[in-house]
Amino acid sequence: MKKFLAIKVFFWFWLTVLCTILLLISISLLQPDMLATKDISPPMLKNLFHLKKSLKRHIERAPEKSIEHVISNRRHARRAKVYLKHREAEKSLVSTQTLYEYDLALLNFAIDGEPKVINTEKFRAYGPLKVQLRGDEFQLFMVLDNREGDLFLKVRLMPQWLKLLVLLLASMLLSYWFARGLLKPIRQLQLAAAKLAHGKLDARANVDIRRQDELGQLGKDFDTMASQLESQVLSQKRLLADISHELRSPLTRLQMATGIAAGKASGDLDCYLQRIEKESQLLEHMLSDILQLSKLESGNNHFEPHPISLFDLLTPIINDAEFESQQLSKLLSTNELPEVVIHGDGILLNRAIENIIRNALKYATSKVSIICHIQEQNLVIHVCDDGPGVSDEMLDKLCIPFYRASQSRTPDSSKMGGFGLGLAIAQHAIKVHHGHIEFKNQQGLSVTLTIPLQQP
More confident residue, 101 or 366: 366
Average of per-residue pLDDT across 40-44: 85
Q: Coil, helix or strand for 393? A: helix
Has 433 been annotated as catalytic? no
Domains along the chain with CATH numbers: 36-148 (3.30.450.210), 306-452 (3.30.565.10)
For residue 415, the model assigns a pLDDT of 44
Average of per-residue pLDDT across 159-171: 70
More confident residue, 181 or 136: 136
Exposure string of 364-386, with b = 16+ CB inside 10 Å and e = fewer, is: beebbbbebeeeeebbbbbbbbb
Distance from chain centroid for Cα 424: 32
For residue 408, the model assigns a pLDDT of 36
For residue 411, the model assigns a pLDDT of 44
For residue 338, the model assigns a pLDDT of 86
Catalytic residue among 69, 76, 245, 306: 245
Q: pLDDT grade, residue 375 (50/70/90)?
A: confident
- pTM to 2 decimal places: 0.47
Query: CB–CB of 426/437 below 8 Å?
Result: yes
Query: CB–CB of 432/301 below 8 Å?
Result: yes
Considering only CA atoms, which of 95, 96, 150 is closest in space to residue 123?
Answer: 150
